[in-house]
Structure 1
Amino acid sequence: MKKLKSKRQIFHSEADFQFALAWEIQREYPEVEARLEYAYKIGDKLYHIDILVIHENQYIPIELKYKTLKKSVIFESEEFHLKNHGAQDLGKYDLLKDVVRVEKVLQDHNKFVDGHIIMLTNDPSYWKKDSKENTCCADFSIAADRVVTGSMKWAEHTGAGTMKNREQPIALMGTYNLKWYDFSKFDDKRNGQFRYLLIDVARKTLFFNTPKTE
């Protein structure tokens, strides 16, 4: 990410971010293979991994999120017109669900050695603590320096429409101290700064049953 931000400070979309990061990984580590949208099946469930880094039969899955507030920027003569994604409660849930996904693939087979989850955003509501207490998504906060672990669920007063297709609690096997890092800054407005959250999942720190090896 440090190498990437010296070349690209903003992206058109999540797919643009995904390709740029995979390309930078490949440039920095020419001995590895970086795959996009790698499909991996566990039981009857198919997981699509945003970036899979392969090196000597060791696999490193990387899941990405790119959430933006509306912003128009000209960077190095290129125009960027970002959408307002909103729905931050769902964005937080989905980010933590990606952590669960990475934990599950690391648990499934010992060729998966480590994993990473990255969210890049210019929306401060992701890295700042919510000013309101008892929000419907309080459990899913990903604010800077928060520690997340164990089971997290929607508050009792959450409407069915809000959590549609996301009703299940989030259950993490590991414990993660959430650290945000500066990526780029275009102005002093609320949506003028990009920061990223990096969550590292180390297979050796997870507590699970003996993994499959076949």
Structure 2
Amino acid sequence: MPLDIIGLMKDLALDRPIFHSEADFQHALAWHIHEALPDCQVRLEFKPSLPERMHLDIWLRLPRSRVAIELKYRTQRLLLKKAGESFDLRNQVAQGGGRYHFIEDIRRLEQVVTHKTAKAGFAVLLTNDPSYWEPSQRTTLDDEFRLHEGRKIGGDMKWSDPTRPGPRSVGEEPIHLGGSYDCVWRDYSSLGEGKFRKFRYLMVKVP
């Protein structure tokens, strides 16, 4: 049975329309998968036996396949209370770094699938920051890492100005993707009127 990430995200949003952090998102999705698919073994921070050292956010052993999931949760400043629980999301600046690391997740999943550690991989980026799904109106250093609706990513990607690479905390190396992927954004949740109250997600399946 193929993993229905879209269906899982839709159901998860009913109970958890917002998260405190990426770790909160990771644990909530993993627990939801555990409840929805009782025959599935769920592991967090799984370390595959690969030449490249890495840890996978979620690794699933299904009856007939194995699946790897990498998650990103990027936020804009939002302070609200939902069902009696207070959420204080910070403004995660450096959106270029967020895009870079999401594409790096896709590259890592390609390695996982190539080495048959998993049959398929899913990279999921959840955010309330419209700059991720809307096209930019100006030229920026991270043009090749853009993820806006309708964009296709693949092949070699690098910072647009070779004399001004991305900050070392982000990553300076170009990224090569073996596959080609369409950026299709889906609504996750809407928390009323106001700025940054809509959450959307981008899901990329490998292969």
TM-score (norm 1): 0.88
Residue in structure 2 matched with residue 132 of structure 1 by the alignment: 138
Paired with 2:187 and 2:120, the residues of 1 have a C-alpha distance of 23
Paired with 2:189 and 2:17, the residues of 1 have a C-alpha distance of 6
Residue in structure 2 matched with residue 155 of structure 1 by the alignment: 160
Residue in structure 2 matched with residue 115 of structure 1 by the alignment: 121
Deviation, structure 1 residue 164: 5.1
Show CA shifts across 1:149-170 (max 9, x none). Answer: 1111101266346355611111
State yes or no: 1:29 paired with 2:37: yes
Aligned ranges 1:19-168 → 2 under 5 Å? 19-43=27-51, 45-56=52-63, 58-109=65-116, 111-133=117-139, 135-156=140-161, 159-160=164-165, 162-163=167-168, 166-168=171-173
Gaps of 5+ in 2: 1-8
Which portions of structure 1, spanning 4 or more consecutive aligned residues, are displaced by more than 6 angstroms?
none
State yes or no: 1:196 paired with 2:195: no
Deviation, structure 1 residue 180: 0.6
Residue in structure 2 matched with residue 11 of structure 1 by the alignment: 19
Percent identical among aligned pairs is 38
Paired with 2:122 and 2:54, the residues of 1 have a C-alpha distance of 15
Deviation, structure 1 residue 189: 3.0
RMSD (Å), alpha carbons: 1.5
Residue in structure 2 matched with residue 209 of structure 1 by the alignment: none
SS state of the match for residue 31, structure 2? helix
157 and 190 in structure 1: CA distance in 2 versus 1, 3 angstrom threshold: farther
In structure 1, give the amino acid aligned to 2:188.
F
TM-score (norm 2): 0.91
Paired with 1:32 and 1:160, the residues of 2 have a C-alpha distance of 42
Deviation, structure 1 residue 190: 3.2
The total of aligned residue pairs comes to: 199
Deviation, structure 1 residue 198: 0.6
Paired with 1:38 and 1:8, the residues of 2 have a C-alpha distance of 24
SS state of the match for residue 15, structure 2? coil
Gaps of 5+ in 1: 203-214
In structure 2, give the amino acid aligned to 1:26.
H
Contact 1:136 1:157 in 2 (8 A): no
155 and 161 in structure 1: CA distance in 2 versus 1, 3 angstrom threshold: closer
Q: Report the structure, 1 or 2, having the larger strand content.
A: 1
Paired with 1:3 and 1:187, the residues of 2 have a C-alpha distance of 19
In structure 1, give the amino acid aligned to 2:120.
D
In structure 2, give the amino acid aligned to 1:75.
K
